[in-house]
């Protein structure tokens, strides 16, 4: 029994070491290698053009891998909207983000969860259990307040949250922000590409600007809603 427990402990430490190595390698590859030179709409567009009808699939895969490598989600989303436009850009970006978020979660869950669980004391265990019970609400809230995307993906894998709650909370939580940003960037790119500058006065441009400005207030609305519910709950109890 002792030997089995000891082997399990060693296994969790080895996996945790691989997890840390993966994170460090991902950051180094994304920040300090020639990969950075391809992270522009022009360069990535040229690469995707060579894939023909498979360009959307190639972009989705690139986005998913980019998420795991800690590439800025804003940059990847901007490139997707610039290449594919406001509507298809939104679809491909959302799918790529969900794939990347899921892959990051499973990497964190498989490599780091056992070791993280061994470090959790009695004080932290209740929070871990609370996340498991309220997984969907917790993930949705953090997505709506724009918690850093990639760190949260890996971090949630270290908790007891169920994947179905994580997936559904992420899917719903990022959909509004993703659509607003891709619609904004894609619309401006369409005007820029057409060369018809009068298009800057179109309803689509004004709508995209309005939605883009509104997106900055979403976290505040969510915080106020949470605060009001908390206050209402307290009054109900007392």
| 233 is a domain residue | no
| 122 is a domain residue | yes
| 61 is a domain residue | yes
| 140 is a domain residue | yes
**Contact in structure between 97 and 178 (CB atoms under 8 Å):** yes
| 221 is a domain residue | no
Q: Domain tally for the chain?
A: 1
| 226 is a domain residue | no
Domain that holds residue 143: 2-213
| 92 is a domain residue | yes
| 232 is a domain residue | no
Mean pLDDT by 10 residues, the chain (238 residues): 54 83 84 73 80 92 92 88 91 96 94 77 73 89 88 92 94 90 84 67 70 70 65 50
């Amino acid at each position: 029994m002792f030997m089995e427990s000891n082997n399990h402990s060693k296994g969790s430490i080895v996996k945790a070491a691989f997890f840390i190595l993966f994170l460090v390698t991902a950051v180094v590859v994304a920040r300090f290698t020639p990969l950075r030179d391809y992270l522009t709409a022009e360069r990535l567009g040229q690469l995707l053009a060579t894939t023909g009808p498979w360009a959307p699939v190639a972009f989705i895969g690139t986005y998913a891998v980019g998420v795991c490598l800690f590439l800025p989600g804003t940059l990847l989303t901007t490139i997707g909207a610039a290449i594919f436009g406001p509507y298809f850009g939104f679809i491909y970006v959302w799918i790529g983000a969900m794939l990347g978020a899921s892959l990051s979660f499973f990497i964190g869950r498989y490599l780091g969860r056992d070791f993280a669980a061994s470090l959790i004391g009695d004080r932290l265990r209740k929070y871990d259990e609370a996340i498991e019970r309220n997984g969907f609400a917790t993930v949705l809230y953090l997505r709506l307040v724009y918690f850093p995307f990639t760190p949260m993906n890996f971090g949630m894998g270290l908790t007891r949250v169920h994947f179905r709650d994580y997936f559904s909370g992420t899917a719903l939580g990022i959909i509004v922000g993703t659509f607003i940003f891709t619609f904004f960037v894609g619309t401006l790119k369409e005007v820029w590409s057409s060369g018809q500058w009068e298009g800057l006065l179109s309803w689509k441009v004004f709508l995209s600007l309005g939605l883009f400005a509104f997106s900055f207030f979403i976290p505040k609305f969510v915080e106020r809603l949470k605060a009001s519910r908390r206050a209402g709950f307290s009054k109900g109890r007392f």
